[in-house]
Structure 1
Amino acid sequence: MALLKFKKKPEFTLDAAPVSPTVEAFLDGYSIEVMPRTAEKVEDFRSLLPAGTRVYIAHIEGTPIEDMVATAKRLAHEGYPVMPHFPARIIKDEATLTDWIARYQGEAGVDQALLLAGGVATPHGKFDSSMQLMETGLFGKAGFKRLHVAGHPEGNKDIDPDGSDKNVMDALRWKQRFAESSDAQMALATQFCFEAAPVIKWADRLKAEGIDIPIHIGVAGPAKLQTLIKFAVACGVGPSLKVLQKRAKDVTKLLLPFEPTEFIADLAAHKAANPDFNIERVHFFPLGGIKTNANWAIEHAGASGVPAQPVEIA
């Protein structure tokens, strides 16, 4: 693979290290998440992301819908399919939901969405869950082609405070029935994890339960260890948090960025050995920055990480 030419020393090179064919295949078609304020820091996504990369736009409480739609419009203009979050608990009513859908479609051509409850303790209006959003039928009426919902390989204490997974599993069974009756393509976009074994166990359990919605596994992009631990605790990451805690005890590695290399390699190897394994895609949470995450993918994913439009850096 040819080396990109830069006018000054680049942050990465395309032939910096050998690429694992299994990892390259596993990362094919990966997606990534941004927020309006983080997207503003990227001059041109085409210099970082492969063509066709699905870009989720996280909707944090307090972010104006105008900012969300403007970000969606910008990304669509650069050639990327956009999947905005629709957090149920910050959507006041069906009129608001209808307005958001119309704005995304009219201004950015959006036809896909991630539906989730949202990290808000008290709902702003009538909606409390992604299932209630789906029950409105508004996404179907608008002709949305793809709907993703949340998955939690290590449980969700907001839904099951007692530590069980009864409510989570009941919700997944409901979503499976919805997927079977919907024209939209569906997938489970999961919380990020740090250890392959719990993910494999969870995916196998879903399959045994008859839940075959494709899984898009959440992966935390390269970041400082302290940053990852902070986000992991805040987001309720489960047993795989011990991977970070173990790393934190090694003072020789404490200041080094933590990368998802081993986690992805383990899942990629399992997928290669078990083609019917129900993880379909990787979804990156760029907790250490979009550029840092994209550069990691460029270095480790081979053809699956090549930017849409490599540019010279002045």
Structure 2
Amino acid sequence: MTTRRKPSATSLPPSRATNHGSSAARSRLTLDGFSLEMTGNDVADLIKAKDVIPHGTKVNITYLGNEDLEMRAIAAKAVRSLGFVPVPHISARRLRSREQLEEFLDRLRDVGATEHVLVVGGDPAKPAGPYKDSFDVIRSGILPRYGVREVGIAGYPDGHPDISSDTLWASFEDKSASLKDQGLDSVIATQFSFDAAAVNSWINEVRTRGIESPIRVGTPGPAGIKRLLNFARRFGVGANAMVVKKYGFSLTNLMGTAGPDTFISDLSKLLTSEHRSTKLHLYTFGGLLATAEWAHKYSETHS
């Protein structure tokens, strides 16, 4: 993804979009209760990092096209056995049939990993089966039958290159309403961003629309700068010179690594006391162990 959309809060009245929280108490953003991300192939890395990850941490498990059912189930079981909370992804457009979705949920239930899931549309431009987007999976009513209690839905503070802002918001509200109607808890997990102001504006718009679900703001753990920018281009994250300079690195110097310290500090200054339900989700582009060690050090330094 290479297109950078304007922050959605430009549709708000100026007083809400620019001055929200100017007179309110600030909400200090910490790493308390952060979550992590891994693939089905990262079990060995998770074991190496287990001693520096807080007990009970939520660990999202991606649903990649080159991984099979058993690999995903083994990863979910490992997360749980190590004392963490597995949050398997369900990629709607990768599902070939309703039966495949039920088989996946049934296998997750076997390993005690269906309480928390995250439902995304997925990368394929053309659906492999009956689910064209995450809303189709959610409104099917299948999830609670397998013990799902909380469903994560995706948020896009930088917009989406293939989906209009109006469509994103309509779908977002539909998913939130459907989960509420089914008696399921919901949590919002955002795509990572380098732009704290855009994230803050997006959070304000979520709340203005009456959606009170907890929000997990995506940010990359420490990783190589070139690698970070490659992921940014892939996912449509804004990475212009001014934004990445605020993040702490330069587009003209791709050597070395960068961490999210600056982003977290900037976002913390913008959030208000109304945003106490905002936590961080760490994308492990630089590896699970490096991300976990950084988080441990950051927490100690800023405690």
Pair in the same fold by TM > 0.5? yes
Mapped pair 1:29 → 2:33: yes
Q: Which residue number corresponds to residue 83 of structure 1?
A: 87
- State the TM-score, normalizing by the size of structure 2: 0.84
CA offset digits 1:257-304 (Å, max 9, x no partner): 111001111222333xx1112652110101111111111101111399
C-alpha spacing 1:226/1:303, structure 2 compared with 1 (3 Å) = closer
Aligned pair partner of 2:97 in 88, 93, 100? 93
Q: Is the 8 A contact 1:187 1:213 kept in 2?
A: yes
Residue identity in the other structure for 2:298: H
- Matching of residues 281-296 of structure 1 within 5 Å: 281-296=279-294
- Distance in 2 of aligned mates of 1:41 and 1:111: 24
For 2:42, what is the secondary structure of its paired residue? helix
**CA distance in structure 1 between the aligned counterparts of 2:240 and 2:201, rounded to whole angstroms:** 13
2:302 & 2:262 partners in 1: Cα distance? 18
Unmatched tracts of structure 2, length 5 or more: 1-26
SS in 2 for 1:33: strand
Cα offset, 1:219, TM superposition: 0.6
Partners of 1:156 and 1:279 lie apart in 2 by 24
Instruction: Measure the CA separation in 1 of the matches of 2:239 and 2:225.
Output: 17
Structure 1 position 179, deviation (Å): 3.5
8 Å CA contact retained: 1:215, 1:278: no
- Alpha carbons of structure 1 residues 262 and 88: separation in structure 2 relative to 1, 3 Å: same
Aligned AA (2:90): F
Q: 2:211 corresponds to which residue?
A: 211
For the 8 Å contact 2:194–2:238, the answer to whether it is kept is: no
In structure 2, what is the equivalent of residue 248 of structure 1?
A: 250
1:159 to 149, 152, 163: 163
Q: Give every structure 1 segment of 4 or more consecutive aligned residues whose post-TM-superposition deviation is greater than 4 Å.
A: 239-242
SS of the residue aligned with 1:114?
Answer: strand
Q: Please state how far the C-alpha of 1:94 moved relative to its aligned partner.
A: 1.2
**Cα RMSD for the two superposed structures:** 2.2
Distance 2:53 2:168 in 1: 33
Percent sequence identity is: 26
Q: 5 Å matches for 1:196-275?
A: 196-238=196-238, 242-244=242-244, 247-249=249-251, 251=253, 254-271=254-271, 274-275=272-273
Change (3 A) 1:133 1:201: same
1:220 shift after superposition: 0.9
Cα drift, residue 124 of structure 1: 0.9
Segment of structure 1 superposing worse, 136-145 or 232-241 = 232-241
How far apart, in 1, do the equivalents of 2:241 and 2:82 lie?
Answer: 36
Q: TM-score if structure 1 supplies the norm length? A: 0.82
Distance across 1 between alignment mates of 2:241 and 2:66 = 29
Contact 2:195 2:238 in 1 (8 A): no
Structure 1 runs not aligned, ≥5 long: 1-21, 306-314
- Residues 189 and 217 in structure 1, CA contact (< 8 A), matched pair in contact too: yes
- The aligned counterpart of 1:136 is 140
